């Protein structure tokens, strides 16, 4: 970040998320969501280019629409009970869940790597727990959105060549799984978000020093171990057993109270994503594993984050059982 004041906005974004998690009424939840948005927008202007300014507007409009819809539905629902259904839908708009994801891919394409990963991870926490705090009778209304997100996230990633686009549609698919985990219990949602964030941090440490965006150029033979960690982290994000990405999906299926149709759709979407990511990483993995790894390649920051992303969630998973 160029300026020290960026850390102030980062602190504002983190504290506002904590405000949403600890709020006891809808007004405080809405205020926390608005402060969270205002704290993240300056972080989007990392390079202060015209493209980032356009991306900021693309992010601001749907977020403001979602917040307006949320606070309006909370006020009007005191007189008309049917409008309470708009509250989780407003949060799904802020999350970028399908079919309300129209703003998400263009925003991700215009962001730098650091704010893009913040949008993929941290910015999901507040809306998710806002949905989790709703009346339990309203939560099933988001299950069709969860199903569409899981399927569209898998199908949308097919034939994509940009790693940023792949992570975008992967995020949409994982949003569907997170929405389904709300039908279980709060620890399940917390465990899923924790695992998802750790895997994305592992991916970030592998991608931060790479200038290319095309996935075929990401797996460099000059740094075979980092390429190996990148490929395995992608497979973990796709849900390949026995990695943490598979464990968090298994945890959702174990605890959720969704119908068989919703669960079947989630599994189908995960299989489509896994098929694509396997075809993406299989050849680089075969090339990388043939090479001899030196000690300097083994001791690295991506390696540390990789093991953290795989071992910490597994220990949390065992604790829940």
Mean pLDDT to the nearest integer, 42-65? 87
How high is the pLDDT of residue 216?
57
In a domain, 10, yes or no: no
In a domain, 17, yes or no: no
- Residues 285-302 have pLDDT tens digits of 666 666 554 444 444 556
In a domain, 113, yes or no: yes
- The number of folded domains in the chain is 1
How high is the pLDDT of residue 302?
60
How high is the pLDDT of residue 164?
85
SS in 3 state form for the chain?
A: CCCCHHHHHHHHHHHHHHHHHHCCCHHHHHHHHHHHHHHHHHHHCCCCCHHHHHHHHHHHHHHHHHHHHHHHHHHHCCCCHHHHHHHHHHHHHHHCCCCCCCCHHHHHHHCCHHHHHHHHCHHHHHHHHHHHCCCCCCHHHHHHHHHHHHHHHHHHCCCCCEHHHHHHHHHHHHHHHHHHHCCCCHHHHHHHHHHHHHHHHHHHHHHCCCCCCEHHHCCCCCCHHHHHHHHHHHHHHHCCCCCHHHHHHHHHHHHCCCCHHHHHHHHHHHHHHHHHHHHHHHHHHHHHHCCCCCHHHHCCHHHHHHHHHHHHHHHHHHHHC
- Residues 219-240 have pLDDT tens digits of 665 666 677 778 888 888 888 8
For residue 140, name the pLDDT band (cuts at 50, 70, 90): confident
- Of the two residues 21 and 243, the one the predictor is more confident about is 21
How high is the pLDDT of residue 139?
84
In a domain, 5, yes or no: no
Mean pLDDT to the nearest integer, 309-320? 53
Mean pLDDT to the nearest integer, 46-66? 87
Least confident of 49-58, 134-143, 203-212: 203-212
How high is the pLDDT of residue 307?
57
Is 315 a residue whose pLDDT tops 80? Answer: no
How high is the pLDDT of residue 310?
60
Is pTM beyond 0.85? Reply is yes
In a domain, 253, yes or no: yes
In a domain, 239, yes or no: yes
In a domain, 60, yes or no: no
How high is the pLDDT of residue 101?
92
Q: Across the chain, what does the average pLDDT equal?
A: 83
Find the domain containing 240 and state its range. Answer: 85-320
In a domain, 34, yes or no: no
- Residues 90-109 have pLDDT tens digits of 999 999 998 999 999 999 98
């Amino acid at each position: 970040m160029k300026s020290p004041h960026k850390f102030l906005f980062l602190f504002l974004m983190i504290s506002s998320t904590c405000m949403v998690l600890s709020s006891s009424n809808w007004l405080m939840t809405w205020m926390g969501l608005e402060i969270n948005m205002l704290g993240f927008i300056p972080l989007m202007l990392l390079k202060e280019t015209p493209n980032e300014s356009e991306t900021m507007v693309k992010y601001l409009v749907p977020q403001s629409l979602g917040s307006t819809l949320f606070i309006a539905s909370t006020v009007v629902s005191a007189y008309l009970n049917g409008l309470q259904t708009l509250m989780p839908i407003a949060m799904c708009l802020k999350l970028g869940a399908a079919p309300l994801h129209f703003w998400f891919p263009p925003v991700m394409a215009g962001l730098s790597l650091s704010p893009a990963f913040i949008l993929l991870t941290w910015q999901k926490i507040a809306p998710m727990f806002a949905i989790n705090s709703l009346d339990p009778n309203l939560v099933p209304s988001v299950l069709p959105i969860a199903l569409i997100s899981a399927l569209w996230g898998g199908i949308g990633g097919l034939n994509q060549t940009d790693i940023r686009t792949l992570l975008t549609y992967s995020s949409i698919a994982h949003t569907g799984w997170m929405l389904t985990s709300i039908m279980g219990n709060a620890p399940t949602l917390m465990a899923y978000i924790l695992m998802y964030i750790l895997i994305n941090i592992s991916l970030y440490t592998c991608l931060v020093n790479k200038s290319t965006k095309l996935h075929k150029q990401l797996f460099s033979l000059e740094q075979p171990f980092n390429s190996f960690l990148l490929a395995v982290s992608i497979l973990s994000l796709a849900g390949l057993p026995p990695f943490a990405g598979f464990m968090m999906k298994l945890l959702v299926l174990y605890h959720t109270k969704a119908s068989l149709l919703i669960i079947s759709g989630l599994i189908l979407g995960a299989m489509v994503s896994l098929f694509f990511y396997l075809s993406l990483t299989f050849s680089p993995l075969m090339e990388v594993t043939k090479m001899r790894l030196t000690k300097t390649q083994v001791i690295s920051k991506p390696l540390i984050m990789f093991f953290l992303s795989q071992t910490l969630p597994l220990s949390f998973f065992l604790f829940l059982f």
